[in-house]
Amino acid sequence: MRDRVVVIDYDAGNLRSVARALDFVGASPLVSAEPADIAGAGALVLPGVGAAADTMRNLRERGLIEPIRDYIAAGRPFLGVCMGLQALLERSEEGDQECLGILPGDVRRFPAQPGLKVPHMGWNTIEWRYPHPVTEGIPSGSYFYFVHSYHPATPDPSIVLGETEYGLRFPSVLARGYLVATQCHPEKSGRDGLRFYANFVRWARDGAPVPAAAAAP
């Protein structure tokens, strides 16, 4: 069980598409809401779409908040996707919702600007700030698929692995230790998105070193 990729089931809208993408790259994931499965995972994936309040309520009702925190605190491989990234921060402007508080920062609504549609929906580029095992073989500036009205913001530039421009420059991929989280949807992002998942699975299973730039303080 310790080499199993577990996808956390809390009724996230992209749950099945994330699991299918992981299955496609050979991970054979277990979809589960059981704290014991989270504790025994070899790699853990938190998907998510929708509102921050719904996400936190569903995690709380299933008794998953502390198992997730404990898993990440142990320095084990973790991937957050879309709302799975936003939930890791301290607070979201969406309903003034307290989040998991695992990473420093908050979640903010895109500001109103002429010609800027919200939500940010469609293909956009991600620029990598440093090399990382999950980005191997994916050129900086590659296109990924986004759907979100709120974006992450952090006072700690050391946890920013990738950045995207949409009216402002925001951190679209965060990394610290064996934790990686992306605002985009790799499962909807074609070949590069599948490579991102494959890279994460290989990194988790091989126990490859954490890049110095992403090492936990």
User: Catalytic site residue 185?
Assistant: yes
One-letter amino acid of 48: G
User: Catalytic site residue 127?
Assistant: no
Residue 40 makes CB contacts below 8 A (sequence gap 6+) with 1, 2, 4, 6
Report yes or no: 5 and 36 within 8 Å, Cβ to Cβ.
no
Of 99, 132, 148, 187, which is the active-site residue?
Answer: 187
CA atoms within 13 A on the CB side of 207: 3
Alpha-carbon distance of 209 to 88, in angstroms, equals: 22
Alpha-carbon distance of 94 to 51, in angstroms, equals: 7
Report yes or no: 10 and 62 within 8 Å, Cβ to Cβ.
yes
Alpha-carbon distance of 116 to 169, in angstroms, equals: 13
Report yes or no: 100 and 92 within 8 Å, Cβ to Cβ.
no
Residues pairing with 126 in the sheet: 142
Of 120, 132, 148, 185, which is the active-site residue?
Answer: 185
Report yes or no: 91 and 55 within 8 Å, Cβ to Cβ.
no
Tally of helices (H runs) and strands (E runs) in the chain: 6, 13
Of 82, 94, 120, 132, which is the active-site residue?
Answer: 82
Report the 10 Å Cβ neighbour count for 139. Answer: 10
Active site residues: 82, 185, 187
